[in-house]
């Protein structure tokens, strides 16, 4: 069955209309109750603002083609998704009409309604993804266009244990999955030691942002091999063919608390077919180390005990 594709021409809107440069409607608002038939079911868009959580009228968004892009709902409603029914206050769609992302809650934070207030309304949901059974309080669940779960984003302070290719990882913020349900990335909730082609690395990112759980600091290829690791407690020691040793480790910056102390900037290690690329955090400086030219190992990095030592310029391309 072809996905139901609501078009802007079917909608009755208010004067709050914004247009693309080609004249098509980008966003608009509703002024009265109406029912919109979507792939997720027949739904009522938000049209009132008489709720502490919804003091502003959220707009309905469209693609340039006129087809529905996002739909805030008047009340939390049961919606149809590729994994069954879910409760939602906001849904986004692919241009084809297929469900893209489902938000169980969509209250707007203000001086009268904070994150803790909103989180108190969250309920755990159960999701089966490939061989993974997940039960957690989710900010949103996203889907690939063909229907399988793409990622989940967790509420702050929510953690789940996931069996990854690197072993069981206590996960915060979120996780991304392949079309087949394999884990593509997770955000470790605590410093977690993982085995890599160059040795053990402690995966953790204190700066991880919990908005969308699609792009996390511990990432895998679909084969299960490690693709990327963000680390704060690991240094890389590389010896070239001439015996020269290069050391890379997380850089430091002045603490955001403004107390004149320094804090670490997470270091990112990406694994390529013929080597690694390391981003240290110093002006996002990147260094490429090829397996053919360097003997690469890892060691634990202890701030304050390890002297700062960055390598001489290394070719940016492998």
> Which helix (H) or strand (E) element contains residue 305?
none
Q: What is the pLDDT of residues 4-17, one digit of tens each?
A: 788 888 887 666 89
What percent of the chain has a predicted confidence (pLDDT) above 90? 69
**Residue 112: predicted pLDDT:** 84
Single out the residue in 59, 89, 116 at which a domain terminates: 116
Report yes or no on 314 lying in a domain.
no
The position carrying tokens 């694994």 is: 271
Single out the residue in 195, 216, 231 at which a domain terminates: 231
**Mean pLDDT of all residues belonging to the chain:** 89
255, pLDDT greater than 70: no
Same domain, 93 and 34: yes
Same domain, 101 and 189: no
Give the DSSP letter of residue 266: P
Q: What's the domain range around 173?
A: 122-231
Report yes or no on 3 lying in a domain.
no
Report yes or no on 309 lying in a domain.
no
CA 261 to chain centre: 30
C-alpha distances in Å from residue 16, one per residue of 27, 65, 76, 92, 166: 8, 19, 23, 20, 50
Same domain, 78 and 135: no
Report yes or no on 59 lying in a domain.
yes
Angle among Cα 298, 217, 302 to the nearest 5 degrees reads: 40
More confident residue, 306 or 96: 96
pTM of the model: 0.88
Q: What is the pLDDT of residues 239-254, one digit of tens each?
A: 999 999 999 999 887 7
User: Which of 114, 81, 119 has the alpha carbon at shortest distance from 100?
Assistant: 81
Same domain, 60 and 108: yes
Helix (H, G, I), strand (E, B) or coil at 115: helix
Token readout for 50 is: 């008489």
Same domain, 208 and 151: yes
Same domain, 161 and 244: no
Report yes or no on 274 lying in a domain.
yes
If pLDDT is split at 50, 70 and 90, which confidence band does 301 have?
very high
**Total number of domains constituting the chain:** 3
Q: What is the pLDDT of residues 113-135, one digit of tens each?
A: 988 999 999 999 999 997 888 99
């Amino acid at each position: 069955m072809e996905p139901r594709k609501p078009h802007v021409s079917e909608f009755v809107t208010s004067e709050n209309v914004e247009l693309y440069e080609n004249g098509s409607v980008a966003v608009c608002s509703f002024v009265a109750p109406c029912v919109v038939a979507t792939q997720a079911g027949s739904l009522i868009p938000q049209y009132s603002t008489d709720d502490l959580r919804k003091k502003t009228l959220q707009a309905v968004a469209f693609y340039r083609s006129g087809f529905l892009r996002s739909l805030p709902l008047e009340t939390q409603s049961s919606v149809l998704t590729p994994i069954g029914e879910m409760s939602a206050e906001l849904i986004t769609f692919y241009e084809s009409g297929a469900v893209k992302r489902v938000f169980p809650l969509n209250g707007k934070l203000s001086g009268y309604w904070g994150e803790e207030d909103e989180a108190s309304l969250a309920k755990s949901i159960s999701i089966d993804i490939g061989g993974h059974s997940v039960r957690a309080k989710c900010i949103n669940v996203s889907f690939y266009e063909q229907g399988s779960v793409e990622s989940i984003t967790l509420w702050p302070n929510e953690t789940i244990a996931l069996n990854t290719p690197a072993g069981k990882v206590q996960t915060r913020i979120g996780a991304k999955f392949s079309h087949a349900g394999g884990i593509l990335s997770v955000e470790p909730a605590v410093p977690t030691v993982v085995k890599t082609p160059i040795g053990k690395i402690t995966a953790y990112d204190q700066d991880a942002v919990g908005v969308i759980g699609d792009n996390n600091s511990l990432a895998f290829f679909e084969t299960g091999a490690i693709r990327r690791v963000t680390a704060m407690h690991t240094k890389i020691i590389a010896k070239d063919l001439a015996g020269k040793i290069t050391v890379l480790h997380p850089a430091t910056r002045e603490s955001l608390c403004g107390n004149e102390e320094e804090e670490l900037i997470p270091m990112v290690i990406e694994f390529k077919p013929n080597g690694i690329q390391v981003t240290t955090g110093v002006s996002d400086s990147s260094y490429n180390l090829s397996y053919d030219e360097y003997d690469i190992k890892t060691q634990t990095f202890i701030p304050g005990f390890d002297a700062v030592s960055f390598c001489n310029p290394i070719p940016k391309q492998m």
